[in-house]
Structure 1
């Protein structure tokens, strides 16, 4: 081996010397920073308003803010009452509504019943003329028969059956407006066993904290009502009540948003404890001593708190995404401490004094640790390009936090050991142990220890990797369902699939979603609507005509129903034709005495006679009780005054693909130019965009998909560039990313075989795995470049690499205990990726290192057998590689 050795950078030596010479000062500085950061951490709050996480300049955000200003948003907090007794349900809903309407602080308005008399009396104007004519024919036939039979002089020579009035088909066809039954004022299901109370809070559905507190307040009130109201109210999502007990539940966009977001937060509480316990246990098993475990664990906690203080200074608050930052950083950050302790043990094992051992450990392990921290931080920083502020803030804080913890652990741990060494030079060795330099030759044969058959390992590894990659590639365009297990043949054809169904992410049996499905079945209605804004009534009419035109049925195939103020206005041509029939009909019946009809038919006959009085009316004839649902509230800003048209989907919005289709169809609604009677243009032709939760989620979904692909590309380029700058050698740079690239390729293949899917949550794991996976190759190759054979490199830093990977995997594995399926999927994908990269490091990368070693001149190999393995990096060896 050449005598010329590459000396460590002066800055690294100066930093290491400072830690050894002034450990007390270093510890005091760290503890002072910790104290300030702890104060900042206590001031941190979590902003639960998800709307703040999206760029406020997006059209989807601007439109939803307009709707919020106009009517408080397009969704509701739904309270569903379930019971066997209809009268009890209605009484309870009346009492609850009275209480809620008095709560001006929290409730904007409620809807639980709407008088239907006006609609009933005018329904004949909405009916198709041919159906009205048919109805008239049936009713007249029945009426004549009834009058004839009720005549006291009626005599039947040959007995005949009375004429039956069969109107069920027509009644069912026209028994609702906007799927609200016109048979009953209440929002009651067809089976009369569920009543809905629709609550519009004073805030929008994105303010999760307020909704959560309000629901708890409602629960308390309902419990008190049950004690004094004569009817017990119990929250349950399965049982059916009776006259003494009514079961209730909450759903709607307000509640499902809260449940989904807080399911993540509640899942992370036990997960964090499990992760910390698992990481602590693995660290103890790796060190086989408790002192080094305490050193690195305490340093990691200090670094995490300092990062939280940094968060308070720079960002000011956490959000629903960055709230998981602490647990993630602890899993990542402890790795730096593990590598330092292992390296210090190795240096002590060579018989060096404690101060030199600490200094050499900082220098030798510090460089790959620094490169790893820079690369990992940069991988997180790439997320800052995201339009979704949850990801961009997470990327910024995670990147800074990774670097902070990495630097701190390479200050805290050395300083503590230096303090111990000053008290007693033997203490560092006793406290953390020592590791004798690995043998380079076999004790029995005297031959050099080497990776057996590296060429064969590479060939076999290449075949296996190629085989696993083949599973990840989609070989067919067949759309395989992701809501059920696929056959092996289907999996191989489809490759790695993306599951767009958000139901796969939420906890199993989430009550609010379960209740939402029940309401959809009982009421034949879809989920919360989205809304389209219009400035004038003429524009509202143009929107309504465009969406309800039968010619556009295919164009708007994902729309179930459109509810507008014009829903309550009969079509002019139909109304005119039907009014003429009603007038003629009334004339025909003017001599009929209602009292002559059977008693059971007299009430219906009285209503029927009122229906004959119906006359055409325009939008200004719609009663305020109906019109107010579509008009801005009095407190709305002047620029947002106008009207809303509500659109309900006929597809399951939990299915991402269907949601995107629905949103695409409702984000490009063309309306023609509108002129008044004089020919003046009162509304220009334009394209309308619907607003609501669905468009926001659709935008977010597209951001996640786009950012997921882009960040993977950018992180990959970042890693390659940084590795090349570190090694200044293309071959070494490529070799160092083998565990990363090959491991992730195998991960995707395993996901295909195991029928696991990428989704909107675990896709963010990919850039994180890329950032973390760099450490495997870095530490192994840097140890190799110090002038050691591959076997020595593996034996000296392999334990640290394995331990650090397992601690991170343990942190992610703890997510398997979460009730939230999205978090579980993140844990599964991360664990597979971490384990495959570790396996590749100890097989494929080890074989590559052995091949490179074998190609070195023999004199270099012989020199290594007798040269110190620490603190020297052969420039000749780097050039030969």
Structure 2
């Protein structure tokens, strides 16, 4: 590291000689970078956290291109009058579809979904039933006839053995019939609530479009005046599309809020710390007889913020300008990196500026103080920054883009912050100290401390630290992972209230389906057979409720048409059986009407509400296989199990087809992150160790510098177990960052101790110990802004980071000094 600093020394000398040019050029580059940085947008699509070549991501892209990944906007109308609701809905649809968006040169909405033409399907429901459903219906009718014959026998005695099986088949028929023939209007059971769905023309990732659309819709509803249709009419609109906008704006507000909280706290802390430190040095150096008053120092309190803050802000703007060209977008995990990097980067400035103040207060001139600080403290800063950056860059090798993008941005930000502190800050020091005299420092030399002060209770502290670590290792099996996605999403009361309100309208129990897009009808049939076989044979952990295709319901060949018509004719014949023909029964009445089909009909005659799931965006009948889960997918373990069951289907020909849905992508992401995170943490540990070995050129010292990090990490795990904190796919990303940040304290203390020599640990703590404490506290404050966000996932990052950095700091100022003192007493320390 000394060689690197020596190689770059001409740059430092140039900065001293031409400080204004350095600042002007840096600000110009920052202005250009800032122009692009402010164009970064946050992408909340979890599919984009997986590699672009992930099979399930490619399948989702293909599905969106073929089927369309539409997210609708719902309008809920409520009044005691069904007719008033209906009249309002019809007028609303007409007015809504006319809303024009100049920015797109198109209407806001492409279509609406409201009234269902159910009369046709009531009369032809059996023609649209699957072969399995038709066979079940025929079998049920035959059993009903047989049951009627037995009941007609005067010696019949009912044992009730077949009642449960009959009820099951009746329920299956009822469910299938309701799928084919829902209510004509989407209304609640008492007909007082009605739902209309609108499908937007714009993308849900276009925030401006969503904001404009909802604002325009507010104006539209006000202009229609629902009260004129019925005095008690209430109209609400929203759904997942509005929740998506709320999530985006919430994250943006959280980023700005955490930025304001974290950075203002850091600025105040830095300002007061350096004011006290510099003023005490000044008083000591002048023995209280300095020519500058206390208030002169108070007026210059913001100077440290300028000295450290300007290079840091320049480096951050550079970082996000580069991010714009390399990534183009931020994701949920990287959206808060500006605040985090502010807390991380300021650490290097604190160390540099604090050491500079100490050297200037000892009587050095600005040039010598800058060179000496760069030579001594600069080496520790470079080691620390390179270690942290390398630990973060390791994340770039992960396939999970939440890791890799976090690693790239934060690693780049660390290196640029290092450059800013080592080669932009000196220019500011020359201007503010030597040229403008804004940094008030005594030029009188002070006597150096020559006494010996041992670190107390060293053996006890080391023993307690190791025992506590061993206990944590013993109970490490109690650490757990949060699999419930719902616990990691922000709660929006308005959305929850709307969902509860709209949920009074009956909807299908089949939710969160996965799609497989095939190339031809034969593939559709084979995929369906394979999936049905999986569902039938999986008795231990079944996740497939049903598999649907339009090809299964609608015959596509003359032979299939004829076979289906024959089965319908058989059902009609059974319905005309003397034992059933006069029976009054709701299910039989539905079947009598549903069995009227006597000749094939065209696919264009099937109502849109029924075939829309199977029709492409171009209006053609698609070759889709729809798989409905039988388990709730909000639980990550069940989501992964469903993904494992359906994500890939291999045909006899060897051709593979992949299932697509946001739930499967989320499960793939969770599975990938869960698999990769142990390797990322292990690789970070190994890399940090070898970097320490390269820096210290000593096996013993590299191990000494690493031990506080390991012990601090174990103490973090202990706190997590005590308070029931869990890992999740948000906070796992910060673990490698904690390793890199935590190593910083040990590096600085070890370097300073080796510089000062034997019996110097107490003196080192009084100087460098203050600096690492300040650096760690400012980093924690940077992360602490996340504790006040509304997003539970971002909160968990803040909690993990604050606790992790606090534990590594604690071990650095207690366990590490005690360990060095104990080794020194044993005469095991080598310089």
Change over 3 Å in CA distance of 1:606–1:409 after alignment to 2: closer
1:193 and 1:666 map into 2 onto residues whose CA distance is 40
Change over 3 Å in CA distance of 1:88–1:689 after alignment to 2: farther
Change over 3 Å in CA distance of 1:434–1:370 after alignment to 2: farther
Aligned partner of 2:536 among 546, 551, 556: 551
Task: Indicate if the aligned counterparts of 1:740 and 1:770 stay in contact, CA closer than 8 A.
Answer: yes
**Offset at residue 643 of structure 1 (A):** 1.4
Which position in structure 2 is the counterpart of 1:730?
699
SS in 1 for 2:727: coil
Residue 286 (structure 1) aligned with residue 257 (structure 2): no
Change over 3 Å in CA distance of 1:110–1:544 after alignment to 2: farther
Task: Indicate if the aligned counterparts of 1:544 and 1:645 stay in contact, CA closer than 8 A.
Answer: yes
Residue 77 (structure 1) aligned with residue 100 (structure 2): no
Which position in structure 1 is the counterpart of 2:283?
none
Cα displacement string for residues 129-187 of structure 1 (whole angstroms, at most 9, x for unaligned residues): 3443577899999xxxxxxxxxxxxxxxxxxxxxxxxx999986534438537252223
What is the correspondence of 1:20-35 to structure 2 with a 5 Å cutoff? 20-35=16-31
Q: Which moved more, 1:641-650 or 1:656-665?
A: 641-650
SS in 1 for 2:336: helix
Change over 3 Å in CA distance of 1:171–1:245 after alignment to 2: farther
Change over 3 Å in CA distance of 1:612–1:504 after alignment to 2: closer
Task: Indicate if the aligned counterparts of 2:716 and 2:804 stay in contact, CA closer than 8 A.
Answer: yes
Task: Indicate if the aligned counterparts of 1:41 and 1:312 stay in contact, CA closer than 8 A.
Answer: yes
**Offset at residue 628 of structure 1 (A):** 4.8
Aligned partner of 2:479 among 472, 485, 496: 496
2:22 and 2:192 map into 1 onto residues whose CA distance is 71
1:530 and 1:828 map into 2 onto residues whose CA distance is 35
**Offset at residue 811 of structure 1 (A):** 1.3
What is the root-mean-square deviation of aligned Cα atoms in Å? Answer: 4.0
**Offset at residue 347 of structure 1 (A):** 1.1
Task: Indicate if the aligned counterparts of 2:204 and 2:210 stay in contact, CA closer than 8 A.
Answer: no
**Offset at residue 7 of structure 1 (A):** 11
Which position in structure 1 is the counterpart of 2:122?
120
**Offset at residue 109 of structure 1 (A):** 4.2
1:607 and 1:459 map into 2 onto residues whose CA distance is 80
Aligned partner of 2:665 among 661, 683, 696: 696
2:712 and 2:114 map into 1 onto residues whose CA distance is 57
2:587 and 2:728 map into 1 onto residues whose CA distance is 56
Change over 3 Å in CA distance of 1:516–1:547 after alignment to 2: farther
Which position in structure 1 is the counterpart of 2:741?
772
Task: Indicate if the aligned counterparts of 1:536 and 1:642 stay in contact, CA closer than 8 A.
Answer: no
**Offset at residue 395 of structure 1 (A):** 1.9
Task: Indicate if the aligned counterparts of 1:179 and 1:525 stay in contact, CA closer than 8 A.
Answer: no
2:334 and 2:589 map into 1 onto residues whose CA distance is 65
Which position in structure 1 is the counterpart of 2:153?
none
2:258 and 2:484 map into 1 onto residues whose CA distance is 24
**Offset at residue 785 of structure 1 (A):** 0.9
Which position in structure 1 is the counterpart of 2:814?
843
Task: Indicate if the aligned counterparts of 1:383 and 1:711 stay in contact, CA closer than 8 A.
Answer: yes
For structure 1, the 5+ residue unaligned runs are 1-5, 142-166, 234-241, 442-447, 475-494, 673-683, 858-876
Which position in structure 2 is the counterpart of 1:530?
514
Task: Indicate if the aligned counterparts of 2:145 and 2:579 stay in contact, CA closer than 8 A.
Answer: no
Task: Indicate if the aligned counterparts of 2:145 and 2:580 stay in contact, CA closer than 8 A.
Answer: no
**Offset at residue 453 of structure 1 (A):** 2.6
2:435 and 2:575 map into 1 onto residues whose CA distance is 110
Change over 3 Å in CA distance of 1:437–1:87 after alignment to 2: farther
**Offset at residue 244 of structure 1 (A):** 2.8
**Offset at residue 422 of structure 1 (A):** 3.2
Which position in structure 1 is the counterpart of 2:769?
798
Which position in structure 1 is the counterpart of 2:226?
230
Which position in structure 1 is the counterpart of 2:62?
66
Aligned partner of 1:430 among 441, 451, 454: 441
Change over 3 Å in CA distance of 1:536–1:276 after alignment to 2: same
Q: Which moved more, 1:77-86 or 1:655-664?
A: 77-86
Aligned partner of 2:336 among 324, 336, 351: 324
2:236 and 2:753 map into 1 onto residues whose CA distance is 67
1:760 and 1:707 map into 2 onto residues whose CA distance is 11
What is the correspondence of 1:149-228 to structure 2 with a 5 Å cutoff? 174-177=173-176, 180=179, 182=181, 184-190=183-189, 192=191, 194-202=193-201, 207-210=203-206, 213-214=209-210, 216-218=212-214, 220-221=216-217, 223-228=219-224
Which position in structure 2 is the counterpart of 1:466?
470
1:217 and 1:404 map into 2 onto residues whose CA distance is 41
Which position in structure 1 is the counterpart of 2:728?
759
Change over 3 Å in CA distance of 1:140–1:257 after alignment to 2: farther
Which position in structure 2 is the counterpart of 1:508?
491
2:496 and 2:537 map into 1 onto residues whose CA distance is 31
Residue 666 (structure 1) aligned with residue 651 (structure 2): no
Aligned partner of 1:244 among 219, 232, 248: 232
1:798 and 1:22 map into 2 onto residues whose CA distance is 33
Which position in structure 2 is the counterpart of 1:540?
524
Change over 3 Å in CA distance of 1:587–1:428 after alignment to 2: closer
1:8 and 1:576 map into 2 onto residues whose CA distance is 86
1:602 and 1:821 map into 2 onto residues whose CA distance is 53
**Offset at residue 294 of structure 1 (A):** 2.8
**Offset at residue 807 of structure 1 (A):** 0.7
**Offset at residue 108 of structure 1 (A):** 4.8
**Offset at residue 770 of structure 1 (A):** 0.9
Change over 3 Å in CA distance of 1:65–1:259 after alignment to 2: same
1:181 and 1:613 map into 2 onto residues whose CA distance is 15
Cα displacement string for residues 71-113 of structure 1 (whole angstroms, at most 9, x for unaligned residues): 212x532515253544444444434444455576454544334
Change over 3 Å in CA distance of 1:435–1:796 after alignment to 2: farther
Task: Indicate if the aligned counterparts of 2:15 and 2:423 stay in contact, CA closer than 8 A.
Answer: yes
**Offset at residue 843 of structure 1 (A):** 0.9
1:803 and 1:591 map into 2 onto residues whose CA distance is 89
**Offset at residue 122 of structure 1 (A):** 3.4
Task: Indicate if the aligned counterparts of 1:358 and 1:414 stay in contact, CA closer than 8 A.
Answer: yes
Which position in structure 1 is the counterpart of 2:251?
264
Cα displacement string for residues 680-727 of structure 1 (whole angstroms, at most 9, x for unaligned residues): xxxx57553211212222222223223322221111111111111110
1:117 and 1:387 map into 2 onto residues whose CA distance is 52
Change over 3 Å in CA distance of 1:577–1:307 after alignment to 2: closer
Which position in structure 2 is the counterpart of 1:144?
none
Task: Indicate if the aligned counterparts of 1:503 and 1:654 stay in contact, CA closer than 8 A.
Answer: yes
SS in 2 for 1:756: coil
**Offset at residue 650 of structure 1 (A):** 2.7
Q: Which moved more, 1:501-510 or 1:194-203?
A: 194-203
Aligned partner of 1:812 among 751, 761, 783: 783
**Offset at residue 838 of structure 1 (A):** 0.8
What is the correspondence of 1:696-715 to structure 2 with a 5 Å cutoff? 696-715=665-684
Aligned partner of 2:637 among 609, 634, 657: 657
1:68 and 1:613 map into 2 onto residues whose CA distance is 37
Cα displacement string for residues 197-230 of structure 1 (whole angstroms, at most 9, x for unaligned residues): 4444446xxx542377347514532542344253
2:501 and 2:718 map into 1 onto residues whose CA distance is 39
Which position in structure 1 is the counterpart of 2:103?
none
1:383 and 1:429 map into 2 onto residues whose CA distance is 44
1:852 and 1:699 map into 2 onto residues whose CA distance is 49
SS in 1 for 2:749: helix
Which position in structure 2 is the counterpart of 1:155?
none
Change over 3 Å in CA distance of 1:251–1:654 after alignment to 2: farther
Change over 3 Å in CA distance of 1:724–1:855 after alignment to 2: same
Task: Indicate if the aligned counterparts of 1:72 and 1:200 stay in contact, CA closer than 8 A.
Answer: no
SS in 2 for 1:500: coil
SS in 1 for 2:335: helix
For structure 2, the 5+ residue unaligned runs are 100-105, 128-133, 151-165, 276-300
Task: Indicate if the aligned counterparts of 1:116 and 1:183 stay in contact, CA closer than 8 A.
Answer: yes
Which position in structure 1 is the counterpart of 2:312?
300
